[in-house]
Amino acid sequence: MGKKVNPRVFRLGMSEQWRSRWYSGHDFAKFLRQDVSLRRSLKKELRDAGIDRVDIERSRGEVTVNILAAKPGLIIGRGGSGIEELKKKLKDKFLDKDVKLSVNIKEVSIPNLSASIIVDAVRIDIEKRIPFRRVIKQNIDKIMKAGAKGAKVMVAGRLNGVDIARSEKVVQGKIPLHTLRSNIDYSRGVANTIYGVIGIKIWIYKGEYFDKKEDKDVKKVLPVKSAKLFSGDAMTSKPMEKPGISRAKKVKK
């Protein structure tokens, strides 16, 4: 099951959050259309900023857009002029006039552990006609050096301009897709080349959400052997003896 679905969708409600957080009864289709078109527009306009994800929250008469980017300075601009222009574009294009819009820009702490940012890096290199094997190897090395426990990069299409389309993948480390507690980031995209479209998929395994930490200071309790000698006696507890060692019997004086 894990290999047939989006790893993030597979973990929704457990270890992953919804990217759109709102509720609507009658206007559900309208708000969903707005969210999809708003995300597409932002990813197209802010391609160079390295967008990780776009979260949208709605309340009564207000929309909050949270953008996580590797280069927030390109979006903010000088004195915040870039945010004001972006807000004006989004409001005029997608939202109603009476809706209040607020945009928050956050920086991604480790860009090389973000699947969306790595997809953009692979796309740019392939569109520059750099050999795909070199591109895959360089990006997997970046991911593993950033602290990932595993990574998988897959590209498909007319690779290097050959006549027959095929898919190639490189895996390093482990990618436990079936383990629900594993923190796996996944993203996909396309590179538009002169010989056709090349699809890109990336999986990054960052570790487990619920790592069990053992206390070294806590002393381990030895197992206790219980034996009932006679029917009238109470249960007696004796510590387990190591094999091959017998206790000396006490002799009454």
Domains along the sequence of the chain with CATH:
7-108 (3.30.300.20), 112-208 (3.30.1140.32)
pLDDT value at position 57? 93
Report which DSSP code applies to 218. S
Spatial neighbors of 233 by CB under 8 A, at least 6 apart, are: none
At residue 36, the 3 state secondary structure works out as: helix
For residue 241, pLDDT over 60 is answered with no
244: its two tokens: 């091959």
Q: How far apart are CA 166 and CA 151, in angstroms?
A: 20
The pLDDT assigned to 228 comes to 52
Question: Which H or E run contains 219?
Answer: none
Compute the distance between CA of residue 35 and CA of residue 39 in angstroms, rounded to an integer: 6
Q: What was the pLDDT predicted at 4? A: 77
Residue 242 has pLDDT above 80, yes or no: no
Share of the chain above pLDDT 90, in %: 51
pLDDT band for position 237 (cuts 50, 70, 90): very low
d(CA 53, CA 18): 11
Residue with tokens 């290097």: 160
What's the order of all strands across the beta sheet hosting 100-107? 20-21, 51-59, 62-69, 100-107
| Long-range contacts of the stretch 43-49 (C-beta < 8 A, 24+) | 45/86, 45/89, 46/74, 46/75, 47/120, 48/74, 49/74, 49/75
What's the mean pLDDT in 122-132?
93
The vertex-169 CA angle with 164 and 171, nearest 5°, equals: 170
pLDDT digits (tens, 9 = 90+) for 185-234: 999 999 999 999 999 999 999 998 876 555 555 555 555 555 554 455 55
User: What tens digit of pLDDT does each residue of 5-31 get?
Assistant: 889 888 888 778 899 999 988 889 999
Tokens of 85: 């222009």
What's the pLDDT at 244?
A: 52
Which helix (H) or strand (E) is 105 found in, with range?
A: strand 100-107
